[in-house]
Structure 1
Amino acid sequence: MDPTAPADDRRRRRVLIALIAAGLVLALLVSVGIYGLLRGPAPRTEPAPTGTAAPTITAPPTGTSPAGPAPVSQLGGPETFARQVAQALFGWDTTNGYGPADYAQVIVDVAAGEEADALAGDVRAYLPGAEAWAQLRQHQTRQWLSIQEMFVPEAWETATSQAAPGQIPEGAVAYTIEGTRHRDGTWGTEPVEASRPIVFTVFIVCAPVVTNRGITGTHCELLRLSQLDNPLR
């Protein structure tokens, strides 16, 4: 968050997090299915595959698994920002010398200031832990995301319409993203790939970029992530 932003703006953003993450105005949040979703995903660990059967192989699209963690641009509008966050969250490669902390950092770098610590916990739950990463590296595993659908969930629209003035800051929005998580690597000497559908919600806030020439665009920050496969609808 911009430290020079007016104090009222910073307070309104903190109210949003309190409203959703801490459970204030609980009756409203329960009624629209938001309560609890922003407490952060439950830890998920995915060890390397075991056994003798290997999944079907298909080649990954060019450019879907970057050489290293790519910075997330905070410009370009809320939908573009949310898509970049999603791609950064699911796009990683165990073979390039980077680790989970490196991939997490590019997402935490675009966090709203007061939410950075909580968001870091959300992100860690989406990424393999150090032990799982080491096992996945032995299989030269890469991961990427293809997005099929992205929309503002009705539960968010209901919450914003029922919230009292000032409870949710202008520019805050939630996007639920449906897609397919792909992984490829090696099984012994054979190349393999596995994929599965995923869905999750990102919560962001965007504000106009104002210069001496007027409003020139928007600047976005990431608030929180829902649990994987437990999105707002």
Structure 2
Amino acid sequence: MKERALPRARLIALASVGATLTVVAGIAVYGLLRGPDQPSEEPAPAPDATPGPAPVLPVPHESIELRPPAVQGSSDPETFVRHVAEALFTWDTASGFVPNDYTDVLVDVGDPSGAEQPGLVADVAGYLPSHEAWVELRKYETRQWIAIDTIAVPAAWGTALEQAQPGQLAPGTIAYTVDGTRHRDGVWNDDAVAAERPVAFTAFVLCPTDPTDRTSCALLRLSQVDHPLR
């Protein structure tokens, strides 16, 4: 992906409550939310003087996946936001994955400069069950997905652009609000159960401004679920 640098004053969050629009420009200094894995301090075992036969390693099953499906890229913002919404709301506790695995695939399509990545990690965490909740949901084979109804640029985004000072929003930054239905199903006392409820959120993305540029959009930030721009 070709890197598109963001200006120093960056978009952190855009939220709408009633008729009030608040545009927060400038980004705070974030600490790392997840550090690298620490190398093992245990020494490697010394080789035997007379090595035995090489162990027979199991052949991985072709259907086993190491991570959830990647978010499909697109230079079209509406298409890209649709892919983001599907990745954000689709998970399965019986898949063997954990919430961080689903977070990673969304962060992979985040701000290429890295400036908004810590905030995006925190945003995505608000959409996924905690580790403790995940362990409980796994007992009931719970899975989730979204049926999208509409994806549209909210009217408040025009106000945000009018209020923004020069350089506060990178060219190509745009907001899309997604409305849909969140579905969940699972097993309770050997019986299949299901539930659904409406959900809405806003995704802030950065997309190419040149129609001939086929570079994929990048996901900057997410509103809180059910607190979208309108």
**TM-score, structure 1 normalization:** 0.72
What corresponds to 1:58 in structure 2? none
For structure 2, the 5+ residue unaligned runs are 28-64
What corresponds to 2:39 in structure 1? none
What corresponds to 2:70 in structure 1? 71
RMSD of aligned Cα (Å)? 2.8
What does the per-residue CA deviation read over 1:14-33, in whole Å, with 9 as the maximum and x for residues that have no partner? 42326x57x9xxxxxx9851
Aligned pair count reads 188
What does the per-residue CA deviation read over 1:12-67, in whole Å, with 9 as the maximum and x for residues that have no partner? xx42326x57x9xxxxxx9851347xx9xxxxxxxxxxxxxxxxxxxxxxxxxx99
Compute the displacement of 1:150 (Å). 1.1
Higher helix share: 1
Compute the displacement of 1:70 (Å). 1.2
What corresponds to 1:207 in structure 2? 208
Equivalent AA in structure 2 for residue 166 of structure 1: G
C-alpha distance in 2 between matches for 1:93 and 1:182: 12
C-alpha distance in 2 between matches for 1:119 and 1:159: 20
Equivalent AA in structure 1 for residue 126 of structure 2: A
Structure 1 segments of 4+ aligned residues over 4 angstroms from their partners? none
C-alpha distance in 1 between matches for 2:163 and 2:126: 31
What corresponds to 2:136 in structure 1? 135
Compute the displacement of 1:146 (Å). 0.4
Residue identity (%) = 46
Compute the displacement of 1:158 (Å). 1.5
C-alpha distance in 2 between matches for 1:186 and 1:164: 52
In the TM superposition, 1:115-126 aligns within 5 A as 115-126=116-127
For structure 1, the 5+ residue unaligned runs are 24-29, 40-65
What corresponds to 1:99 in structure 2? 98
C-alpha distance in 1 between matches for 2:6 and 2:117: 14
State which drifts further: 216-225 or 127-136: 216-225
C-alpha distance in 1 between matches for 2:72 and 2:209: 15
Larger Rg: 2
Contact 2:75–2:208 at 8 Å: present in 1 too? no
